[in-house]
Chain A
Amino acid sequence: MTPPSVQSGPFLSVRDLQVRFATEDGVVRAVDGLSFDLRRGQTLGIVGESGSGKSVTSLAVLGMHDRSRTTVTGRVTFDGTELIDATEKQLQSLRGNRIAMIFQDPLTALSPYYTIGAQIAETYRRHTGASRSAARARAVDLLGRVGIAAPGRRADDYPHEFSGGMRQRAMIAMSLVCDPDLLIADEPTTALDVTVQAQILDLLGDLQREFDTAIILITHDLGVVANTAHEVLVMYAGRAVEHGATQQVLTRPRHPYTEGLLRSVPRLHSDVDEPLVPIPGSPPSLLAVPAGCPFHPRCAHRERVPGDDCVTRRPALAEVGHAAACHLPEEPREVLAQQHLQP
């Protein structure tokens, strides 16, 4: 019998990730028991409102949190390497090399003081030790591949000489320069206008097919996820509330929060006078997350749950299949799903 190979398991595995910040007002549980798996070449969309713990998750995976005031526990296994207790040196050799990140606002995320080409070449030289000229050639090559015209000339431009969409293309080129196995894109299209958004998402998809890169796509926009992600994880108050294949989650949501998010998205085919339904209330403070199900104060379906489970018992999320952390029995949940069967 052959021993189980590391390669056969999931490529990125996150188990019971907890991220806590000490603040003056108390302990913030920014991420509270998050688990997911990701395979090569797949895209996982992490969706949630501001402060739901999406970005904190991505920074914690790379060990980029402020270590003096943050506690991270749980397990993050990347291709056989445990990342949570990895040394800063180990993480530095992974960052930008095997795990790359793209940030929301490419204007502020790129240094204003160095040319685009130099910033891309810097990552490449750091991880490959390539010569200046080889690194520059590589930078120019990647700028061309992400669709920047005259890349040889534009490599010598500074970020402020690029348009918003081109900056994000350059950012993507920078993240791909070392052929990473995992790309974490934190709201990559939020700062861009809609037509450019679509181009950037298409580009990410093309590059993913070309390089077989796994992508974690962090966004608050379900529309972005619908067209790009294979799986979706919906986060609320630092916890995963629903997880499943994109198609299933978006058409048959099993958690009232996901359903609420879907209702608040405008649809092209719906009547213009059909009102958008926002979720009442606002996300809880992470200093005082409600007991039981954290969503219960805003939930429209609470009465359908017999007893006071919603208030007292924290619903668990199954680790397989299309799962939702909700106390609703199956029957009313089917009703919840029915409402979204029609596009």
Chain B
Amino acid sequence: MLRFLVRRVLGAVLILFVISAVTFFLFFALPSDPARLSCGKGCTPELLATIHHNLGIDRPLPEQYWSFLTGIFAGRDFDGQWCSAPCLGFSFVNHQPVLDTLLNRFPATLSVALGAAALMLTVGVGLGLIAALRRGKTVDKVSMAACLVGASVQIYFFGIIARYLLVDELQWLPQPGYTSPFAAPGAWFGGMVLPWITLTVVNAATYARYTRSSMVDTLGEDYVRTARAKGLSSWGVYIRHAWRGAMTPVVTTFGIDLGLFLGGALITETTFNIHGIGKLAVDSVANSDLPMIMGTVLVAATAMVLASIAVDACYAVIDPRVRLR
């Protein structure tokens, strides 16, 4: 177990290093110049060069990347302003420390991610289980058809329609948005309901379909027949024996989705104007804000690699034949 963790964490660091390097160099491959934005209308070549110098992007790329890396581990000096480790630099746009902004934005993303993940897992797996147990019956056909519809709509379509109907017209839900759950739990919940429902409608179909097909396969397994021959109730057979075996593909997909959500649900956050990591990423790309882009990419990548480690650990918990090394 320890060996597994050490190995996977080292692997994760390597992956993050590669991703950050690729992002960094890709940014400079873009034709856009981050200095243009702050240079404004009366821009002269001299002024542009000064801004380049101030942003530190006039130096050779490898040198810049090296400064970025050392900043993370040892802190970094920005023209007399000390940024202590782990330092991700200052935003090109509002000159705030990137790390502070990320930490400030993360709770909103976390709220969207955890709530949506819990809801879509419950709805998706629940529908899949029911469909599998009643396969060929009306419940099965109706829920699978509903899943097809759910999987086909887009967040920015469903989200906006739902917002118009439920918030603006019927006024059943408050305006979506993030408030701190510690300051105002009710407002936090109300503001999160619509994003959760939207992400669930769009994603639950995958879980329902995986659960259904995986359950149908598992119900045909010999050990499920044995469970019935032991005289277990239908519930005991389905839940204790069949479901356990059917969970693996669901866990795999769930790990990936949770990783994606924690890295910022780009479209959802933009659609509902929630100031999380996802919206931050979209905004910083639009503003050519390199340090902020690096920060959001690192958050997303970290969420992804941690989720994949968690998925592998879950396999071992579910299936005793899997050994972690």
Interface residues, chain A, with chain B CB atoms under 8 Å away = 62, 64, 68, 88, 92-97, 100-101, 103, 105, 108-113, 122-123, 126-127, 158, 160, 174
Which residues of the partner chain B approach A62 to less than 8 Å between Cβ atoms? Answer: 229
| Interface-central residue, B229, B232, B234, B319, by most chain A CB under 10 Å | B229
Contacting pair A110 B226 (CB below 8 A) = yes
Q: Is the interface of B mostly helix, strand, loop or mixed?
A: helix
Q: How far is the CB of B261 from chain A (nearest CB, A)?
A: 28
User: B227 — nearest CB in chain A belongs to which residue?
Assistant: A111
Q: How far is the CB of A286 from chain B (nearest CB, A)?
A: 20
Distance, CA A64 to CA B222, complexed state (A): 12
Size category of the B interface is 20 to 34
Contacting pair A64 B320 (CB below 8 A) = no
30 contacts between A and B (CB under 8 A): A62-B229, A68-B136, A93-B231, A95-B228, A96-B229, A96-B231, A96-B232, A97-B231, A101-B226, A101-B229, A103-B226, A105-B222, A109-B223, A109-B225, A109-B226, A110-B223, A110-B226, A111-B223, A111-B241, A111-B244, A112-B319, A113-B244, A113-B319, A113-B320, A122-B230, A122-B232, A123-B231, A126-B232, A127-B231, A158-B320
In the complex with contacts A103-B225, A108-B222, A109-B223, A92-B232 CB distance below 8 A = yes
Contacting pair B320 A112 (CB below 8 A) = yes
Q: Does B245 contact A (CB under 8 A)?
A: yes
Q: How far is the CB of A296 from chain B (nearest CB, A)?
A: 35
Q: How far is the CB of B314 from chain A (nearest CB, A)?
A: 13
Distance, CA A100 to CA B230, complexed state (A): 7
Contacting pair B319 A95 (CB below 8 A) = no
**CB < 8 Å neighbour of A113 from B229, B236, B318:** B318
Q: How far is the CB of A86 from chain B (nearest CB, A)?
A: 13
Which residues of the partner chain B approach A158 to less than 8 Å between Cβ atoms? Answer: 320-321
Contacting pair A109 B222 (CB below 8 A) = yes
| Interface-central residue, B222, B223, B227, B228, by most chain A CB under 10 Å | B223
Distance, CA A94 to CA B228, complexed state (A): 11
User: A115 — nearest CB in chain B belongs to which residue?
Assistant: B320
| Interface-central residue, A97, A112, A158, by most chain B CB under 10 Å | A112
Which residues of the partner chain A approach B226 to less than 8 Å between Cβ atoms? Answer: 101, 103, 109-111
| Interface-central residue, B231, B241, B319, by most chain A CB under 10 Å | B231
Distance, CA A68 to CA B225, complexed state (A): 16
